[in-house]
Structure 1
Amino acid sequence: MQKIIFKNKNIITVISATLISLSFMGHWILKDNFYSEFMLIIASVIGVLPIAIQAYQALKVKVVSIDVLVTIAVVAAFAIRNFEESAIVTFLFLFGSYLEKRTLNKTRKAIKELTEMAPETALKLTEDNKYIEVGIEEVTVGDMILVKTGAKVPVDGIVISGEGSVNEASITGESLPVSKSVDSKVYAGTILDNGTIAVNADRVGVDTTFGKIIELVVEAQDSKSEAERFIDRFSKYYTPLVLLVAFFVWLFTRNIELAITILVLGCPGALVIGVPVSNVAGIGNGARHGILLKGSEVIGYFSKVDTIIFDKTGTVTIGKPVVSETIYYGEKKESDLLYLASIERESDHPLANAILESIPLKNYIKVDKTEVIKGKGISAAINDDQILVGNYSLMKEYGINVTEEMIDDIERLELQGNSIVITVINNDIKIIVGVKDQIRDKVKEDIELLKRLKVKNLVMLSGDNQGTVDLVSKELDLTESHGNMLPEEKAEFVENRIENDEIVAFVGDGVNDSPSLALAHVGIAMGSGTDVAIETSDVVLMNSNFSKLPHALALTKATARNMKQNIVIALAVVFILVLGVMFSNIVSMSVGMLVHEASILVVILNGMRLLRFNMK
Structure 2
Amino acid sequence: MSFCIIHELQGLNGTAAGRMRVRAHRPLPLSVTADLTRNLDDLPGISGVRVNPRVGSVLFFYADQQSRLSALRLLAVRDKNPVPHTPAVTSELLPEKTPGGGLLPLLRFFVIRPLLPRIWRMVSSVMAAMPFLLKGVASLLHGRLSVDVLDAAAIAASLLMRDFRTVSVLTLLLGLGETLEYWTRRRSLDSLTESLALNVDSVWLLGKDGTEASVPLGQVQKDDLVVVRDGGSIPVDGIVEEGCALVNQSSMTGEPLGVPRARGAAVFAGTVVEEGRLVIRVNQVGDGTRLRQVISFIEQSEALKAGIQGKTERLADLAVPFTFALAALVWLITRNPMRAASVLLVDYSCALKLATPLAVLASMREGARHGMVIKGGRYLEALCEADTLIFDKTGTLTNASPRVVDVIPAGGYQRDEVLRIMACLEEHFPHPVARAVVRKAQEENLQHEEEHAQVEYVVAHGVASSLHGKMLRVGSRHYIEHDEGVDVSPMAADIARQTALGRSLLYLAEDGALAGILAIEDPLRPEAAAVVKTLRGMGFKRVLMLTGDDERTARAVAARAGITEFRAQVLPTDKAAVVRELTDSGCKVLMVGDGINDAPALSASHVGVAMSDGTDLAREVANVLLTRADLGGLIEARRLADGTLRRIHMNFAATLTLNSLFLAGGLFMVLAPGLSALLHNLTTLGVSLNAMRPHLPAPKPQTPVMEGRP
Tell me the distance in 1 between the aligned counterparts of 2:320 and 2:191.
37
Q: Secondary structure at the match of 1:318?
A: coil
Which of 367, 391, 395 lines up with 2:481 in the alignment?
395
Which residue does the alignment assign to 1:358? 440
* Identical-residue share of aligned pairs (%): 25
Deviation at 1:55, TM superposition (A): 1.8
Which residue does the alignment assign to 2:346? 265
Does residue 689 of structure 2 align to residue 605 of structure 1?
A: yes
Deviation at 1:40, TM superposition (A): 6.9
Q: Secondary structure at the match of 1:303?
A: helix
Which residue does the alignment assign to 2:175? 98
Q: Secondary structure at the match of 2:597?
A: coil
Cα 1:42–1:430 shift into 2, 3 Å: closer
Q: Mapping of 1:326-365 within 5 angstroms?
A: 326-333=407-414, 335=417, 338-344=420-426, 349-359=431-441, 360-364=445-449
What per-residue deviation string (whole Å, max 9, x for no partner) do you get for residues 303-340 of structure 1?
11111211111112122222212233424425555555
Which of 531, 535, 541 lines up with 1:446 in the alignment?
531
Which residue does the alignment assign to 1:141? 220
Tell me the distance in 1 between the aligned counterparts of 2:497 and 2:336.
89
Contact 2:398 2:523 in 1 (8 A): yes
Which of 116, 130, 151 lines up with 1:49 in the alignment?
130
Does residue 164 of structure 2 align to residue 87 of structure 1?
A: yes
TM score, norm. by length of structure 1? 0.74
Deviation at 1:95, TM superposition (A): 1.6
Contact 2:327 2:340 in 1 (8 A): yes
Which of 519, 539, 558 lines up with 1:473 in the alignment?
558
Cα 1:432–1:74 shift into 2, 3 Å: closer
Deviation at 1:242, TM superposition (A): 1.4
Q: Which amino acid aligns with 1:355?
A: V
Q: Secondary structure at the match of 1:610?
A: coil
What per-residue deviation string (whole Å, max 9, x for no partner) do you get for residues 447-482 of structure 1?
233223222222111112222221111111124111
Contact 1:66 1:267 in 2 (8 A): no
Which residue does the alignment assign to 1:559? 644
Q: Mapping of 1:531-610 within 5 angstroms?
A: 531-582=616-667, 584-610=668-694
Does residue 188 of structure 2 align to residue 111 of structure 1?
A: yes
> Which one is further off, 43-52 or 93-102?
43-52
Cα 1:211–1:312 shift into 2, 3 Å: farther
Which residue does the alignment assign to 1:295? 376
Does residue 390 of structure 2 align to residue 309 of structure 1?
A: yes
Tell me the distance in 2 between the aligned counterparts of 1:371 and 1:591.
75
Contact 1:17 1:91 in 2 (8 A): no
Which residue does the alignment assign to 2:93? none
Structure number, greater radius of gyration: 1
Q: Secondary structure at the match of 2:437?
A: helix
Tell me the distance in 1 between the aligned counterparts of 2:361 and 2:151.
27
Which residue does the alignment assign to 2:322? 241
Q: Mapping of 1:119-158 within 5 angstroms?
A: 139-141=218-220
Contact 1:275 1:563 in 2 (8 A): yes
Deviation at 1:289, TM superposition (A): 2.1
Which residue does the alignment assign to 1:180? none
Tell me the distance in 2 between the aligned counterparts of 1:18 and 1:62.
39
Q: Secondary structure at the match of 1:310?
A: strand
Which residue does the alignment assign to 2:286? 204
Q: Which amino acid aligns with 2:386?
A: V
Which of 605, 608, 623 lines up with 1:523 in the alignment?
608
> Which one is further off, 405-414 or 570-579?
405-414
Q: Secondary structure at the match of 1:566?
A: helix
Cα 1:142–1:10 shift into 2, 3 Å: closer
Which consecutive residues of structure 2, in runs of 5 or more, have no partner in the other structure? 1-95, 198-216, 223-234, 237-283, 701-710
> Which one is further off, 232-241 or 68-77?
68-77
> Which one is further off, 52-61 or 210-219?
210-219
Which residue does the alignment assign to 1:511? 596
Tell me the distance in 2 between the aligned counterparts of 1:565 and 1:311.
36
Cα 1:99–1:463 shift into 2, 3 Å: same
Cα 1:227–1:76 shift into 2, 3 Å: same
Which residue does the alignment assign to 1:499? 584
Does residue 414 of structure 2 align to residue 414 of structure 1?
A: no
Which residue does the alignment assign to 1:152? none
What per-residue deviation string (whole Å, max 9, x for no partner) do you get for residues 249-285 of structure 1?
2112222211111111125211110101101100111
Tell me the distance in 2 between the aligned counterparts of 1:323 and 1:254.
87
What per-residue deviation string (whole Å, max 9, x for no partner) do you get for residues 158-202 of structure 1?
xxxxxxxxxxxxxxxxxxxxxxxxxxxxxxxxxxxxxxxxxxxx9
Cα 1:397–1:293 shift into 2, 3 Å: closer
Q: Mapping of 1:211-226 within 5 angstroms?
A: 216=297, 219-221=300-302, 223-226=304-307
Tell me the distance in 1 between the aligned counterparts of 2:459 and 2:619.
25
Deviation at 1:112, TM superposition (A): 6.3
Which of 320, 339, 346 lines up with 2:401 in the alignment?
320
Tell me the distance in 2 between the aligned counterparts of 1:612 and 1:365.
51
Q: Which amino acid aligns with 1:602?
A: G
Q: Secondary structure at the match of 2:508?
A: strand
Q: Which amino acid aligns with 1:490?
A: K
Q: Which amino acid aligns with 2:437?
A: I
Cα 1:543–1:17 shift into 2, 3 Å: closer
Contact 1:508 1:517 in 2 (8 A): yes
TM score, norm. by length of structure 2? 0.65
Contact 1:318 1:440 in 2 (8 A): yes
Q: Which amino acid aligns with 2:174?
A: S
Contact 1:312 1:460 in 2 (8 A): yes
Cα 1:461–1:213 shift into 2, 3 Å: farther
Cα 1:452–1:580 shift into 2, 3 Å: same
* Equivalent pairs, count: 520
Q: Secondary structure at the match of 1:505?
A: strand
Which of 515, 535, 540 lines up with 1:455 in the alignment?
540
Cα 1:9–1:260 shift into 2, 3 Å: farther
Tell me the distance in 2 between the aligned counterparts of 1:529 and 1:388.
25
Tell me the distance in 2 between the aligned counterparts of 1:73 and 1:347.
65
Q: Secondary structure at the match of 2:596?
A: coil
Contact 2:421 2:448 in 1 (8 A): no
Cα 1:546–1:93 shift into 2, 3 Å: same
Which of 310, 317, 321 lines up with 1:229 in the alignment?
310
Tell me the distance in 2 between the aligned counterparts of 1:42 and 1:348.
69
Does residue 140 of structure 2 align to residue 63 of structure 1?
A: no
Deviation at 1:240, TM superposition (A): 2.2
Contact 1:370 1:380 in 2 (8 A): yes
Deviation at 1:528, TM superposition (A): 4.4
Cα 1:345–1:594 shift into 2, 3 Å: closer
Deviation at 1:401, TM superposition (A): 4.3
Tell me the distance in 2 between the aligned counterparts of 1:322 and 1:560.
42
Contact 1:110 1:287 in 2 (8 A): no
Contact 2:590 2:609 in 1 (8 A): yes
Contact 1:247 1:259 in 2 (8 A): yes
Tell me the distance in 2 between the aligned counterparts of 1:141 and 1:369.
26
Which residue does the alignment assign to 1:285? 366
Q: Secondary structure at the match of 1:265?
A: coil
> Which one is further off, 338-347 or 49-58?
338-347
Deviation at 1:565, TM superposition (A): 1.5
Contact 1:325 1:435 in 2 (8 A): yes
